[in-house]
Amino acid sequence: MNIVKSVNGEEINLSNTGIFYNQYNVRAKEVAQNVAESLNRHKIEAKIYTTDEFTPDITMAIVLGGDGTILKASRYYAPYKTPILGINLGRLGFLSQAKSSQADKAIEYIIKGEFKTEDRLMLTALDGKLNALNDIVIKGESFSRTSRLYVHINDNIVCDYLADGLIISTPTGSTAYTLSAGGPILSPVLDAIVIVPICPHTMNARPIVIPSDEVVKVTSCENKPLLKISADGQNTLDLGVDDNIEIRKSEYKAKLILLNLEKNSFYSVLKEKLHWGLSWKC
């Protein structure tokens, strides 16, 4: 058996590795074949699938694509506690650990055990119908009008927002839609939830950071009963005024593989992806 141990002591069985590629990316299949060949050189057999062919019968998932592809894989594999290695074929690639040109090097890091696993907080809504690694977003049915959304935390009314919508985000999602809406950036290892209004119509509407074990409930005004709710911007449902919109910490966590590549820490990635620079040398 091909067992490797991470630097934080977790063992991963590589003998049943699945390589999943986004079939809508023109380069993805070729990269998937290169990754499989790299694994074969280390005497590890791997099967190649598209991201429409997720299967529970694997012990590690190598996911090729952008952040959206990795989000999709994370939602599927979180209940199985399957570790995921992301290789970026998209734009930002906050969730990936290597570029396609670094695929061979990434495999070497895995073989040598020069990696760690990190469990990431996920959210669930509507009694498990929706699950998210990044965020749950609530908006009115009409995208041309604002909505009045009432936020309750642990059954206590906290505030109401007149806004285009509301984002309830994990720390992982704080660098996604939440960031664009003016929310704070949180380290992904924090155990917290962020609530951010989208384009609020009042200056005193501010993001809120709360402990992850608190329950967020959202209700709407009676004259605007229909809402839309989405998970990670990929799964969307229509809601009525009587639907119970509760968002809470999921019982499952996404298990991501983090490589010890140079400049691969969360803060280095922030600087690179957001193009943060210094105006002086120190």
Select, from the ranges 24-28, 118-122, 125-129, 269-273, the one with the highest average predicted confidence (pLDDT).
Answer: 118-122
Dihedral (C-alpha) 85, 184, 267, 106: value to the nearest 10 degrees?
10
Supply the pLDDT for residue 190. Answer: 94
Q: Are residues 137 and 224 in the same domain?
A: yes
Beta bridge partners of 248: 124
Residue-wise pLDDT for 75-134, tens only, equals 999 999 999 999 998 776 789 888 888 899 999 999 999 999 999 999 999 999 999 999
Q: Are residues 11 and 78 in the same domain?
A: yes
What residues contact 24, with CB distance under 8 A and at least 6 apart?
none
The domain tally of the chain equals 2
Q: Is 268 contained in some domain? A: yes
Q: Are residues 130 and 89 in the same domain?
A: no
Q: Are residues 110 and 144 in the same domain?
A: no
Q: Is 24 contained in some domain? A: yes
Supply the pLDDT for residue 222. Answer: 58
Q: Are residues 147 and 95 in the same domain?
A: no
Q: Are residues 147 and 193 in the same domain?
A: yes
What residues contact 279, with CB distance under 8 A and at least 6 apart?
none
Angle ∠(252,255,256) on CA atoms, nearest 5: 150
Alpha helices in the chain (DSSP H): 28-41, 67-77, 103-112, 177-180, 266-273
Residue-wise pLDDT for 180-215, tens only, equals 999 999 999 999 999 999 999 887 889 999 999 999
* CA gap 239, 265 in Å, rounded: 39
Residue-wise pLDDT for 138-189, tens only, equals 998 766 678 889 999 999 999 889 999 999 999 999 999 999 999 999 999 9
Residue-wise pLDDT for 217-231, tens only, equals 998 875 555 789 999
Catalytic (active site) residue 242: no
The pLDDT mean for the chain works out to 89
Q: C-alpha distances in angstroms, 56 versus 73, 77, 164, 171, 206?
A: 11, 7, 38, 26, 41
Q: Is 78 contained in some domain? A: yes
Beta bridge partners of 195: 168, 208
Q: Are residues 169 and 239 in the same domain?
A: yes
Q: Are residues 137 and 99 in the same domain?
A: no
Q: Is 42 contained in some domain? A: yes
Q: Are residues 265 and 233 in the same domain?
A: no
The range of the structural domain enclosing residue 34 comes to: 3-114+260-273
Q: Is 278 contained in some domain? A: no
Q: Are residues 66 and 172 in the same domain?
A: no
Q: Are residues 7 and 93 in the same domain?
A: yes
Q: Which amino acid is at 224?
A: K
Q: Is 71 contained in some domain? A: yes
User: In whole angstroms, what separates CA 120 from the centre of its chain?
Assistant: 8
Q: Is 140 left (phi over 0), alpha (psi -120 to 50) or beta?
A: beta
Find the CATH number of the domain harbouring 96.
3.40.50.10330
Q: Are residues 64 and 87 in the same domain?
A: yes
Q: Residue 77 gets which letter from DSSP?
A: H
Q: Is 281 contained in some domain? A: no
pTM: 0.91
Find the CATH number of the domain harbouring 188.
2.60.200.30
Q: Is 280 contained in some domain? A: no
- Which of 57, 67, 238, 243 is the catalytic position? 67
